[in-house]
Amino acid sequence: MPKPDILVTKPMLPIVEQQLDAEFTVHRLYDAEDEQTMLAEVGGRIRGVALSWWQVNEAFLKQLPNAEIVASFGVGYDHVDTDACLAANVMVTHTPDVLSEEVADTAIGLLLMTVRELGQAERWLRDGNWAENGAYPLTQATMQGRTLGIFGLGRIGKSIARRAESFGLKVAYHGRSRQDGVDYRFHASLVALAAACDTLMVVAPGTPETRHAVNAEVLKALGPTGIVINIGRGSVIDETALTEALEKGTIYGAGLDVFEEEPCRPERLMKLPRVTLLPHVGSASQATRNAMGQLVVDNLKSWFSTGRPLTAVPELKQK
């Protein structure tokens, strides 16, 4: 039997590309001299898409009239219009679970770095200040006695909560609804959660509903000892409001692994003393990225061999 034709939008890990070449007839959009010309030539043959950081919308799907599945690399899939895929009868998969522990580790590491200013302390040493100007100033914040409010208590949020408990932090949460079997205190609004904690951990996905959910009102409720950590999606925080809150002292500090526009160099944030910034490295270990890539391959193989995906996105699980 002929191998199914699939489209790869961006370069993927060697472990992925090698297996895709073995299982499918692969068309690499990133190798095309002109993307639209290539899509016009092969779009009608494409039955699956191995997706990495590419916008999938109605217009894109119209160029792939026989597509059956979009296998996306990553747990977040805000770059995929699931309504358009549902209307076009296209399955969408993502890569949950395999990255939860890695991202949770990064979240706690980012929290520690932000509270104790570890990145700034390292620069103090590297720049020669320890020898020339003495010890790094005492940090005004501490992990001791903090209350962690988690916005988005999904797989990753729960993994973060377990780690936070081992540090002695109290944990509360806000989400679309109260979760059964969870002992952490639930707050019905994000403002209420912010008012009840001094550390806001953002793990919510990037959706139209969560866009700028962390706004000036939420930051004011968090208060002058408050710290914001974002390991979810940059769009969830109103970055302008966050910057202004930090500049004015409305909150104490922030640690960000994600931003509204990526890649970026957030100049105003970089000038602030109690801000820690990472270049979206939450799941960026070789082992975890290999596992995510393998799940992309396995979703495609399962679909074309059994007609069922392994990890459909929630909106299409019943499809």
Given the residues 209, 217, 262, 308, the one annotated as active site: 262
Does residue 233 have an active-site annotation?
Answer: yes
Q: 67 with 172, same domain?
A: no
Q: 120 with 143, same domain?
A: yes
- pLDDT on residue 1: 77
pLDDT at 227 over 70: yes
More confidently predicted of 135 and 76: 135
* CA–CA distances in Å: residue 99 to residues 4, 55, 66, 267, 289: 28, 22, 31, 30, 8
Given the residues 45, 211, 268, 280, the one annotated as active site: 280
pLDDT at 305 over 60: yes
pLDDT at 317 over 80: no
Q: 139 with 225, same domain?
A: yes
Given the residues 27, 233, 274, 289, the one annotated as active site: 233
- pLDDT on residue 36: 95
- pLDDT on residue 318: 63
Q: 170 with 73, same domain?
A: no
What proportion of the chain, given as a percentage, has pLDDT over 90? 96
Q: 184 with 264, same domain?
A: yes
- pLDDT on residue 319: 57
Domain interval for residue 10:
5-98+287-316
Does residue 122 have an active-site annotation?
Answer: no
Whether residue 282 is contained in a domain is answered as no
Q: What is the CATH number of the domain that holds 216?
A: 3.40.50.720
Does residue 280 have an active-site annotation?
Answer: yes
Q: 62 with 160, same domain?
A: no
Q: 54 with 123, same domain?
A: no
Q: How many domains does the chain have?
A: 2
* Gap between the Cα atoms of 153 and 149, Å rounded: 10
Residue 54: pLDDT band (50, 70, 90) is confident
Q: 269 with 299, same domain?
A: no
